[in-house]
Structures are given as structure tokens and as C-alpha cells.
Amino acid sequence: MRSGKGHKDENFPVASWIIHPRHRALILAFYNFVRTGDDIADHVSLAPQDKLDKLDLLEAELLGKGDTQPEAVTLRHAFAERGMSPKHAQDLLNAFRLDVTKLRYANWDELIHYCSLSAMPVGRFMLDVHGEDRSTWAASDAICAALQINNHLQDCGKDYLNLDRVYLPQDAMNAAGATVEMLGEGQSPPALLKCLHGLARRTETLLHEGRSLSGDIKDTRFALEVRVIETFADRIVNLLKVRDPLSEKVHLSKSQMAGIAFSAMARGLYRRATGHSSAVRHVSGA
């Protein structure tokens, strides 16, 4: 069921060299489990019930009921070694089940609920891996939701054409005079573009809500990785506020990501060295 996509193909770092080596095996095990579930939910030819059955099998083996799914078995053992709960992984499986059964979202609140299963558990998992205080969860939830919605906006045309899946809130589309069918066009009509740009601005607000996260994290290496991720998200949302994801580039190239990463880390190190990390409120896209 794997798509062939790996952790190096993502729009954000996964267990990068920034992270301490002692955490990388667990993070990669978590990523591989999640990627497997995501690939099942996104499979273009599997019947919905087959997808749900495969997701149920993954969860059963994550919980110790069988040994046929290597990604589930590896993560189960990794969790056991660290004494960690499988809850975050289970939440993500519930998001993938929603991907199979729910193709439309009525409003922003429904979309944020989806993000509470599909994105927020990833940030919470990473914070737990690093032993961070759970007071960081609120800022992390905002950043993770923004990352997820950025991805929805980037891929809105592909999601509709390939999977008949629309994450854009229906009330936002109605308010702009846009229709779902517009997502199948090669270029966004003005009404759809108005909707997309409005959602990007709302997503930018989430990024601002989570701006304290990298400064609140105690582990320096993890804080720097979060700073990189926040900066990627800023750059992407700035593209989404002015460009058309149906006809224009709204992704960062590998070379852009590398340059942004080193710049973000340098700024993050400076702020931590000078004692400014806890009061980070940088301008979006800086």
C-alpha cells in the first residue's frame, strides 16, 4: 500500500540531522506507520471498506494483536522501549478513517476538528518524545493545524480530482461564490481564488497563535527544528495568499528549503544564545 513517498520527500523535516540521534529511530518508526496509514486512505483504487479494514488491521497490530504489518510492529516495539502510549498514532488512524468516510467539510470548526486528529497529534508526539511540558501543546496545535491547512490549500485541486475530497469549508466557498467543481479547472476562477486567499489569511492567524512554540521548547535541537518548520510554513502561507494553487507554484524547492533552514537555525541559535527565545514574535515570513 506504500506510495513510495518517504520522509525525505515531505515539505518539512522529518527526523532530520537537527534532532538528537537518540530520538530518530522512534520518530522514523512513527513516520513510517503514519505514512502507511495515509497511503491506504489515499489509495485511488481501493474500495472504502477495504481501506477501513486495512486501517483497523494496522491499529490492531499496533496494540499487539498480530505481527503481519511491519510498520505497526516496529512502532509498537519502539513505543514499548520508551514506555509511550500509542494514543497519538491512534488519533492519526482516526483521521485517515475520516479521509475515507468524510469528503466535505461544512465550516472551519469541522476542518479544525479534522486537524485535531490529522495534525495536532504529530506535534504532541514530538513534544512527548522530547519530554517537553504539555503547556506547549496549545501553541503546537495551532502550528500543526496551520501546516495541515497549508497542505490542503496547496493540493486542493489534486485532492478533488483524484479522490473527490474537498477540505475547503463549504461555508467559505459559498460566501465567496465558489463551487466545488471549480477545483477541477486548470486555473481558479475569481470566486475560488478569493476563497483560497481568505483561507490562507485565516491560516496565517493560526501561525501567529503558535508563534511562541519554538521559544518555549527546552530542547535546543528540537526548538531549532520547530523554528525551521515555522519558517517553511510562513513562506508557504505567503505564497498561498497571493498565488493560485491550481495554476501556480505554491511549494518550496529543495534548494529553497535548504537555504531557509540554515537561515532559520542561525536566527534561532542567536535568539537562544541572547536570551530572546522565550519572547519570539517575529514577523511572518521573516
The reply to whether 107 and 226 lie within a common domain is yes
**pLDDT for the residue numbered 58:** 98
Distance CA 231, CA 240 (A): 14
The reply to whether 25 and 73 lie within a common domain is yes
**pLDDT for the residue numbered 13:** 52
Domain span holding position 108: 102-272
Report in angstroms the alpha-carbon separations of 185 from 158, 190, 197, 281: 11, 12, 17, 39
**pLDDT for the residue numbered 285:** 36
The reply to whether 106 and 96 lie within a common domain is no
C-alpha cell at 193: 481564488
Give a yes or no: residue 78 inside a domain. yes
Q: What is the pTM of this model?
A: 0.88
| Cβ neighbours for 125, distance < 8 A, ≥ 6 positions apart | 30, 88, 89
| Low-confidence residues of the chain: pLDDT under 50 | 2-3, 6-12, 15, 278-286
**pLDDT for the residue numbered 257:** 73
Answer with the one of 101, 132, 154 that is the final residue of a domain: 101
C-alpha cell at 241: 495568499
C-alpha cell at 128: 512527548
The reply to whether 122 and 43 lie within a common domain is no
Segment 176-209, tens digit of pLDDT: 999 999 999 999 999 999 999 999 999 999 999 9
Structural domain total, the chain? 2
**pLDDT for the residue numbered 262:** 67
**pLDDT for the residue numbered 252:** 85
Per DSSP, the chain holds a count of helices (H) and strands (E) of 13, 0
Report in angstroms the alpha-carbon separations of 76 from 83, 132, 138: 10, 22, 27
The reply to whether 244 and 162 lie within a common domain is yes
The reply to whether 110 and 83 lie within a common domain is no
**pLDDT for the residue numbered 274:** 67
The reply to whether 27 and 97 lie within a common domain is yes
The reply to whether 21 and 121 lie within a common domain is no
| Cβ neighbours for 85, distance < 8 A, ≥ 6 positions apart | 79
The reply to whether 181 and 136 lie within a common domain is yes
